[in-house]
A and B are shown apart, each in its own frame.
Chain A
Amino acid sequence: MSNEFVPLFYGFNFYLFGLIAIASALLFVTRKSPVAAAMWLVNVMFCLAALYVMLDAQFIGAIQVIVYAGAIMVVFLFVVMLLNLGHAGAVSDLRGNAGRLAAGFVGLAMLAEVMVLARTKFPDAMTLKAVHGLGPVDGTAGVIGPIAGPLFNEYLLAFELTSMLLLTAIVGAVVIGKKRNPDAR
């Protein structure tokens, strides 16, 4: 929101982390070595965690560092190590001109869509409204409480289904990744 007063320090740090995130993301998609790419992606995730904290979502910021930068990226690096892919191949894995053309086209299309959406006046039925009972985030009302309340009340079913999903994913990952023993059958 451009009309609200933004302190200089806050704004400076916001733009700083945003620019670092963009630069790291660009370095991430252009690195040849998977390990270097993963390190730059971790950098993006740390910057996003900083932005979450600045947007009054401190718990999400902590979860971002622990789950994304800590757990998910370690799984990626573990697979890179397991398959011995750490070195960049002799040939670049960048696709040919067709892929670049497609990427440029999709990028332009998305940019055009953002431009159009920014100038569109939506009908009332389509605009976002605050959910009943969930007010705007109050930065002073504690960090975890405002999230835990809806998570265990309004979204309890989704929360329980998430545990089912995780169980299925664990079993699936073990079954798919397990080495098949040719003598077994």
Chain B
Amino acid sequence: MLAESLALSALLFTIGVVGVLTRRNAIILFMCVELMLNAVNLSFVALSKVHGVGGQVFVIFVMTVAAAEAAVGLAIIIAIFRHRQSVNLEDINLLKG
């Protein structure tokens, strides 16, 4: 089942990338990043069945970082929403020269 898991992981990661590239809603963008992290976790778990349990340990670290990233990222989104009344990325162009 290793090959199937890795293929599924690649597919889910690509769907996440497509979401990041095609959506403008900042919250949905964050969710797409979470989907990409999940896809990578799947490949870690699948490979840990063959190459040792280190992959599963790393998945725990990835989940911790994802939780921290979600907390800080959503706080930033809330702060931006207070300024602009919008989470649309097209409206957030202060650094765009």
Binding site for B on A (CB under 8 A): 1-2, 6, 10-11, 14-15, 18, 21-22, 25-26, 28-29, 34, 37-38, 41, 44-45, 48, 51-52, 54-57, 59-60, 63-64, 67-68, 71-72, 75-76, 79-80, 82-83, 85, 93-95, 99-100, 102-103, 106-107, 110-111, 114, 128-131, 134-137, 146-147, 150-151, 154-155, 158, 162, 165-166, 168-170, 172-174, 176-177, 179
Contacts and interface: CB of A to CB of B under 8 A. Distances in A.
A93 B28 contact: yes
A93 B24 contact: yes
Given A57-B56, A72-B67, A51 B31 contact: no
A29 B19 contact: yes
B18 A165 contact: no
Interface in B37-85: 38, 41-42, 45-54, 56-57, 59-61, 63-72, 74-79, 81-82
B18 A6 contact: no
Given A28-B31, A137-B49, A172 B23 contact: no
Given A103-B18, A131-B54, A56 B70 contact: no
Contacts of B74: 75-76, 79, 173, 177
Given A34-B27, A55-B5, A110 B14 contact: yes
**Secondary structure type dominating chain A contacts:** helix
Contacts of B25: 34, 85, 93
B35 A22 contact: no
Interface residues of B, number: 67
Nearest to A169: B68
Contact of A166 (B14, B35, B68, B75): B68
Contacts of B1: 1, 6, 10-11, 14, 54-55
Contacts of A59: 56
A165 B65 contact: yes
Contact of B50 (A51, A136, A162): A136
B75 A173 contact: yes
B22 interface: yes
A136 B27 CA distance: 38
20 contacts: A14-B1, A22-B11, A29-B19, A29-B23, A44-B35, A55-B5, A55-B49, A60-B41, A64-B41, A107-B17, A131-B54, A147-B56, A155-B61, A166-B64, A168-B68, A169-B68, A173-B71, A173-B74, A176-B72, A176-B79
Contacts of B52: 130-131, 134-137
B67 A67 contact: yes
A38 B29 CA distance: 11
